[in-house]
Structure 1
């Protein structure tokens, strides 16, 4: 059901830059509980995946999902570095890498290497320390990409 709801919302977003929904109406449309709509939005429409979510509670409340449009590669890398912050878990780190690959900021090979470096098997098992180390590593990789010539990377991706 989660995949179906996600596909529906992405189809709407493909036709327009943003979608404004009422949780109860979507739940009724898909014959599910409103909390399932929350789950889809909270896990499938994150900033790491290129979406901004705004909500207003109450009787006239809504949830607005906006597909983020990045102006250029440098903006994307800077945004991702800000999003990563001082700590990031493996799932969110993977989302960041996948988004960069989808937007052709990094090559398939770069994505594979970055994903290996994000894998939980490489870390100590202490979540707070692991998330900080993962964050430092990923931010350093992205900062390094900022100083590489974009045209050279695009030629390497071919």
Structure 2
């Protein structure tokens, strides 16, 4: 007999397959009520079975009317290069290093010239007008978010 985590996973995947939108939105407490389990069980299933590595993007909005959105994604062809660059970013990154990475992605035809210009504009020191340490940390988080979005179609 399957355990509750397997049953919840199966239910979510079936709903995702049937979805016309390409994603599902759930409310953790409602799903917990439906399966007569604690909400942390839902968290466990989502955190362990719907990971980026397994091809899912999970977004959440907290608070009243909050939801968890699960989307199945397809990896792009140049995943290895993007993954390597993501690992190199770390907790902080200078503008020059970030721009070099973006140029590498452009040269490899992973991003267009327009995307390269847009990303550089967003991470520029004039836009991120904070103390250097904070700016480099924020730039790293922004770079990671942009590159993760490139990993999937």
What TM-score comes out, normalization by structure 1 length?
A: 0.48
Q: Judging by fraction of residues, say which structure has more helix.
A: 1
What TM-score comes out, normalization by structure 2 length?
A: 0.49
